[in-house]
Structure 1
Amino acid sequence: MVSITDREDDGSRRSPPAPGPRPWIGWLQIGLSSMLAVLFLVILAKTREQSQLLMRLEQRLQGLENSRALDRTSVLEEQQRAMVGRLQTLEAGAQRLQALEQQQDAWRSALADLQGRAVRRPLLSPDPFPAPESPAASPRSDGGVLRPPAPPSP
């Protein structure tokens, strides 16, 4: 039987003792930690750079949108000015037309007045343009007798 206190016999059957901490494992851990820290800083720098780039792009986009809006506003203002000009021309034409209609109404009433006066006033002579008297129809000094005109000779 083997006793527990016999170490000499047990040593041959056991695996070799575990070696102590190796120095390269510590350096490996430090290297990996450093590499992770550097990668974190690189990612952080890239994120900031992309954020700044996005801000610049947003500003450019806003500028383009403002420029387009300004162009549209300018076009609309120009169209509005043209429309106002046309409306002013139409209003002036309407005023001229109204003045002409008033003048026409005045002329119509004046014409009606003239026609009404002509109907109401009796004519002094039925012929407005009487023919001059012929010497044959004039009274003679032979006693005041009027004689009919002589028949025309053929």
Structure 2
Amino acid sequence: MVSITDRDDDARRPPTAPLGPPVWTGWLQIGLSTMLAVLFLVILSKTQEQNQRLMRLEQRVQGLENSRALDRTSVLEEQQRAMVGRLQTLESGAQRLEALERQQEQWRSALADMQGRAVRRPQVEPDLFPAAPLPSSGSGGRPSPPASDRSAGGVLRPPAPGSP
């Protein structure tokens, strides 16, 4: 209950200047400042977490790129080995071809030498009257018949084909 006297007492006092902002406004400022600090710390920790995730993802991406590069490198190395094998085969074939060409050139020069000697040497004409072979003694000490038969007129004829 309020007494009248209290009102009267209040009315008799001279009016005073306002005391300032209420006390709860200070507590409100401290609470808001604390909340901002906490929010700042939360945002900072979330940023660090995201940075760590990004680092891990970058490492994974780098690992994938490295594995792809390694795969490409191994494929290129395999192709290079195959190409080297083909080149070695071609080189050995070229060496064999050169050896055959040298041998062919040697044969050509030998043939040219033989042909040159044949041109320089006079051709021997075949003997028109070959010498009669000497009679050989066969079994029993008899002389074998002559290789050519003499017909009438004394003309020599060659032996018949198929005769011994």
TM-score, normalisation: structure 2 = 0.65
Specify whether residues 84 and 129 from structure 1 end up closer, same or farther in structure 2 by C-alpha distance, changes over 3 A only. Answer: farther
Q: Deviations over 1:94-130 (max 9, x none)?
A: 0000000011111111111222222222334x12797
CA distance in structure 2 between the partners assigned to 1:37 and 1:43 by the alignment: 10
The alpha-carbon deviation at position 149 of structure 1 amounts to 2.5
* Alignment coverage as a number of residue pairs: 128
| Misfit runs of 4+, over 4 Å | 128-135
Q: 1:136 to 1:34 in 2, by over 3 A?
A: same
Larger relative contact order (Cα-Cα within 8 Å, sequence gap ≥ 6) = 1
- In the alignment, the residues of structure 1 paired with residue 116 and residue 21 of structure 2 have an alpha-carbon distance, to the nearest angstrom, of 140
The corresponding residue for 2:65 is 65
CA distance in 2, matches of 1:53, 1:36: 25
- Where 1:122 maps in the other structure, the secondary structure is coil
Show CA shifts across 1:41-96 (max 9, x none). 10110111111111111111211221122112111111111111111111000000
SS of alignment partner, residue 18 of structure 2? coil
Aligned residue number for residue 79 of structure 2:
79
Q: Taking every aligned residue pair, what percent have the same amino acid on both sides?
A: 70
Aligned match of 2:5: none
Per the alignment, residue 143 of structure 1 pairs with none
Whole-angstrom distance in 2 between the partners of 1:53 and 1:107: 80
Q: Distance in 2 between matches of 1:132 and 1:22?
A: 163
2:126 paired residue number: 127
| RMSD over equivalenced CA pairs, Å | 3.2
Query: In structure 2, do the counterparts of structure 1 residues 132 and 110 end up closer, same or farther at CA, with 3 Å as the change threshold?
Result: same
